Structure 1
Amino acid sequence: MCNPDVVGDEAVVAAAGPGEPAEDLTAVLSKIARTLEPEADVDRAVEHIVRAAAATVPGADEAGVSLLESGTMRSVAPSGDVVAHLDQLQHRLHEGPCVDAIHERPVYRTGDIGADPRWPRFGREAAASGVSSMLGFKLFTSTSTIGALNLYSWRADAFDDDAERIGELFAAHAAVTLAGSQGLAHLHVALRTRDTIGMAKGILMERHGVDADRAFALLVEASQHANVKLRDAAEWLVSRFRPAAGSPATGRPGDGH
């Protein structure tokens, strides 16, 4: 077992079992930390995390991530159908290690999910699906809660203190990765929105003979009149009136369409 007073890299060394050299485990975790790099595709980043978690944390047979988006949890890249079902069940019942990890303590562990009094409804369904043990970790940074990492095992009491310690280290790396991925995704959306609005303004300037400020004002008026976001109004205008390469314009605002 790990020494509770050991922290940082020493915790990883202490987590190595008798058949698993400490230096090998440290190397594996270090390699994973380097490969979990942020990318703009959040779902793909989660997929990498799920695969790495199932392969890294001792006792884990399956894994999944629940992202917290506008107060709602979304299951992303589950490693199998059972994981997808149980992740969704936790969301629907508002019960389970995933839910409590997000809203209560950062780590939850159970070795007999079917008999755990903390989650009676979810536990019965999980046991019926063949799952016996679970580990749930909050994915968070100093500024935000991103979601939860769920680890599943078909065996009872599959996760011990060492698995929990390694899982916490892994979850910390994963949270930083996902925070970076979400930031990149938001930046890409912002850049695409700016470009789309710019194209929509250009269309209005050309068709109505107005300057950039007036074109933007017309776009704002149109979005308010239609009760849609400015971005959506710009996307509609661009898709409706920008001609395909080598083709004439297919419609004009006054054509009655």
Structure 2
Amino acid sequence: MADFDAQPGRAPKVDLSASQREADEIDLYAGMSGVAGLVAGARTVEQLLADVAEFAGHAIPDVDGVSIALLQPGPAGPQIQMCAATDAFVADIDRIQYRELHEGPCITAMVTGRVSVSGSLGSDNRWPHFGGRVARMAVHSALSLPLIVDDDVIGAINAYARARDAFGDHAVELGSRFAVPAAVSVYNARLLAGARERTERLQRALGSRAVIDQAVGIIRSRSGGTAQEAFDRLKHLSQTDNVKLVEVAQHLVDEAVRRARARRGP
């Protein structure tokens, strides 16, 4: 059984029948198979996270809505960002948790690295402001599952239910099993997205460098100066006109091409 942080004083959910457990196992297997089959490919990280949230909603019993939150680097340290939600009310709950009150089951799960469960948010003393606020939205149960890769928490799956005590030991066990392949899929998608972004930045940088080199050559052919003098001229134009260096260079190249074509004639 997974180690988890449960709400003090809440009784575990009544044991389930064998047929219900079997049905839940089938749903879990379908959700885990779906996550395992996700390939980033041409899809964005956001699209993949939306799929993971949908699969989680099927894999974890008694869920009314699911969100995926990730830890993102920030100037003051990692920041929690809600990245996908299956329902609008879930997005509202997470905005309250991350942006307004800065307390709640997801934050606790990310900080501790343990599953966090509540069956009566309105009376949960761990999050007195968040719990009461969400209970007034007629949402009473929460289950937050940290996404962990190599002992590092990268995010969390957050399941919410309108019923009280919706998530007992059985739901925690299924959710914890689902979170393992989900964490790997999310981690790999972010790695791929990072590699793509770095490649695109490099391609843009190489393209910019080529244009700048062409502009330097044009200035040298006109002035007879050195490469450094031509480059300094480009920088001066960029600063004077408050225009990016590559844009100044591109304009100079485009103008040189236009004049050459005009001289050549039709």
TM-score normalized by structure 2?
0.72
Paired residues for 1:87-166 under 5 Å: 87-92=94-99, 93-142=101-150, 144-166=152-174
Alpha-carbon distance in structure 2 between the residues aligned to 1:155 and 1:109: 13
SS, match of residue 249 in structure 1: helix
Deviations 1:34-62 (A, max 9, x none): 32334562111110111111122001110
SS, match of residue 190 in structure 2: helix
Structure 1 consecutive aligned stretches of length 4 or more whose deviation exceeds 4 Å: 236-243
Asked whether the 8 Å contact 2:122–2:140 carries over to 1, the reply is: yes
1:46 to 49, 55, 63: 49
Q: Tell me how far 1:85 sits from its aligned partner.
A: 1.4
| Pair 1:183-2:191 in alignment | yes
Letter in 2 for 1:45: L
| Pair 1:203-2:211 in alignment | yes
Paired residues for 1:208-223 under 5 Å: 208-209=216-217
Paired residues for 1:230-245 under 5 Å: 236-237=244-245, 242=250
Change (3 A) 1:239 1:170: farther
Instruction: Name the structure 1 match of 2:22.
Output: 21
Alpha-carbon distance in structure 2 between the residues aligned to 1:183 and 1:193: 15
| Pair 1:75-2:82 in alignment | yes
TM-score normalized by structure 1?
0.75
Instruction: Name the structure 1 match of 2:254.
Output: 249
Asked whether the 8 Å contact 1:241–1:250 carries over to 2, the reply is: no
| Pair 1:56-2:64 in alignment | no
5+ long unaligned stretches in structure 1: 6-14, 227-232, 253-257
Alpha-carbon distance in structure 2 between the residues aligned to 1:135 and 1:116: 13
5+ long unaligned stretches in structure 2: 3-15, 219-226, 258-266
Alpha-carbon distance in structure 2 between the residues aligned to 1:20 and 1:250: 73
SS, match of residue 18 in structure 1: helix
Identity of aligned residues (%): 26
Q: Tell me how far 1:21 sits from its aligned partner.
A: 2.9
Alpha-carbon distance in structure 2 between the residues aligned to 1:135 and 1:109: 5
Instruction: Name the structure 1 match of 2:36.
Output: 34
Change (3 A) 1:239 1:115: farther
Letter in 1 for 2:39: E
Change (3 A) 1:202 1:105: closer
Q: Tell me how far 1:238 sits from its aligned partner.
A: 5.1
